[in-house]
Amino acid sequence: MTVHKGRGFAAINYPIGMNLGGDPSQALVHSNPDGKFTVALSAIDLGQGMKSVTRQIAAETLGVPVEDVYVDTADSDTGPHDMGSFASRGTHRMGNAVIRASEEARQVMLEAAAEELEVDAGDLVTDGKGNIHVRGAASRSITTMAAAQAAQFRQGRTIAGRGIFLIPLSEVDPETGEMSPVTTFAHAAMLVTVEVDDETGEVAVTDMQSAYEVGRALNPKLVEQQLRGGAWMGMSHAAWETTEPYYPTRDHRPEDFNTYIMPGPGDLAPHHISILERPAADGPYGGKGPGEMCANPVLPAVVNAVYDAVGVRIDDLPVTPEKVLRGIQAIGGAKPRQAL
């Protein structure tokens, strides 16, 4: 038996948000009397960090520290309409809605501060640490708490904002497929190294080198978590998982994790990630959605690497030891290429 090493490459782009638009998100932002803000949404945090990324976006836009913002989601009595957390749309669509709501609330906050400082609101800036001051004159300042208290109890202003982001629905030409699918695309490239055992047909992914272009990494740790987990899912899809290993027959029908096989921690390959940021014109601070595309390049990269290792092309996912062995038999033994 011999273990053959091979490398495979793939590159992809990914449309961000529900195809064709028509998928609005809304956000409401308001201040408590002490200048702390609540963001009300109906977005879903699936573990991807929806609450956290919208919290950072709100803090950035309001010009207050992130600790002064709390995101409350999803209660249909208080959170306005949102289409949901899918299609990599959360950061892009909801992030934009939060920006708009926060801008409206910030404007009232600055007007309240301006009245207290007896200056023009247009001359005020925030320092991101809880202070509002005259541009170029940091000593002429007021805290966001004092501005909020003045607004609430002296001036009778509501520091609040509403935001919606909607890309209107694009229609599709039945004859040509002409359409405006989405406005923003993320990108990725991936090179994987595999080891193929020509006696057992087993394939191990031993290394992953990737580049992901995400518009802007709004929170670099959350982005890394998405990319790492997503690439793992892609590797699993390529070489481990399926509900129907002999599609189209339905005989296998796994019902638990003993018969539905996924890789464990010991099967994970080192994944060297490079993150590129080319801001999207209509993304929140340029951000796209890294959530889905991270898995996609891994699948073809793995089959391309298997071919590089033993000369067997597997065009039916997943790559199973049985398919690899049958493929090796069909070509009369492994034919290592190592062309990449």
Partner 1 sequence: MNDMTSEGPMVEFRKDLFADERDDNLNEVGKPTRRQDILGHVTGRSPFFDDHLFNGLLHMRCARSPHHHARIRRIDTSAAEKMPGVVRVLTGRDVPVNLNTLLSLLDFGLDDEPLLSETKVAYIGEPVAAVIAETEAQARAAASAVHVEWEVLPHVLDVEEAIKPGAPAVLDIYPNNKFVYHGKYDHQKLRYGDVDAAFRGVDHVVEGRYQMSPIEQAPIETCGAIAAPEQNDRYVCYTSTQALFFSLGTAAKMLKIPSSRLHFIGGTVGGGFGGKVDSIHEPLAILGTMLTGRPVKYAWDRAEEMQVGAPRGAERWYITDGVMANGRIVARKFIGYFDAGAYTRLSSYAIIKGVGHLPGPYTIPNVYADVFCVYTNRTPATAMRGFGITGVDFAIEAHMDKIAETVGMNPIELRILNAYRDGDMKAHRREAKNCALIECAQVVAEKAGVTLSPEFKAATSMTGGGGARAALPAFTATDEDGRVEGFAATSYAKKSGASSAPVPGAAPASRPARVQASAQSPARPAAQPASPPSAAPVHTADPADKKPARSGAMRFSSLSGFRRR
Say if CB 4 and CB 198 are below 8 A apart: yes
Which tokens in the block code for residue 276? 């590129």
Pairing between strand 137-143 and 131-134?
Answer: antiparallel
Binding span for partner 1 by CB under 8 A among 114-122, 130-138, 194-202, 295-303: 295-303
> Closest separation between CB of residue 156 and partner 1, Å?
30
**Would you count residue 190 as binding partner 1 (CB under 8 A)?**
yes
Work out the burial of residue 151: count CB atoms within 10 Å of its CB; fewer than 13 is exposed, 13-18 middle, 19 or more buried.
Answer: buried
Compare residues 150 and 166 and give the one whose CB is closer to partner 1. Answer: 166
Q: What 3-state class would DSSP assign to 50?
A: helix
> Which residues on adjacent β-strands are paired with residue 209?
191, 272
**Would you count residue 326 as binding partner 1 (CB under 8 A)?**
no
Q: Which of residues 215-274 bind partner 1 (CB under 8 A)?
A: 216-222, 224, 230, 233, 237, 241-245, 247-250, 253-257, 260, 262, 270-274
Binding span for partner 1 by CB under 8 A among 109-117, 140-148, 309-317, 327-335: 309-317
CA-based nearest residue to 241, from 223, 261, 224: 261
**Would you count residue 191 as binding partner 1 (CB under 8 A)?**
yes
Q: Which of residues 57-96 bind partner 1 (CB under 8 A)?
A: 57, 59-60, 63, 65-66, 70-71, 73-77, 79, 81-87
> Closest separation between CB of residue 106 and partner 1, Å?
13
> Closest separation between CB of residue 88 and partner 1, Å?
9
Dist CA 67 CA 60 (whole Å): 11
Binding residue (CB under 8 A) for partner 1 from 27, 235, 301, 309? 301
Binding residue (CB under 8 A) for partner 1 from 295, 312, 324, 334? 295
> Closest separation between CB of residue 122 and partner 1, Å?
20
Which tokens in the block code for residue 243? 């509900």
**Would you count residue 189 as binding partner 1 (CB under 8 A)?**
yes
**Would you count residue 169 as binding partner 1 (CB under 8 A)?**
yes
- What element of type H or E holds 95? helix 95-117
> Closest separation between CB of residue 89 and partner 1, Å?
10
CA-based nearest residue to 244, from 254, 257, 258, 255: 254
**Would you count residue 118 as binding partner 1 (CB under 8 A)?**
no
Question: Residues touching partner 1: how many (CB under 8 A)?
Answer: 134
Q: Which of residues 127-146 bind partner 1 (CB under 8 A)?
A: 128
Which tokens in the block code for residue 40? 């009300």
Compare residues 139 and 176 and give the one whose CB is closer to partner 1. Answer: 176
Non-local CB neighbours of 60 within 8 Å, separated by 6+ positions? 128, 285
Binding residue (CB under 8 A) for partner 1 from 117, 212, 290, 312? 212
**Would you count residue 184 as binding partner 1 (CB under 8 A)?**
yes
Residue 267 DSSP label = G
Work out the burial of residue 159: count CB atoms within 10 Å of its CB; fewer than 13 is exposed, 13-18 middle, 19 or more buried.
Answer: buried
> Closest separation between CB of residue 177 and partner 1, Å?
4
Q: Which amino acid is at 17?
A: G
- The widest CA-to-CA distance across the chain, in whole angstroms, is 87
Pairing between strand 69-72 and 37-40?
Answer: parallel
Dist CA 310 CA 336 (whole Å): 4
Compare residues 152 and 226 and give the one whose CB is closer to partner 1. Answer: 226
> Closest separation between CB of residue 172 and partner 1, Å?
5
Binding span for partner 1 by CB under 8 A among 137-145, 153-161, 169-177, 325-333: 169-177
**Would you count residue 47 as binding partner 1 (CB under 8 A)?**
yes
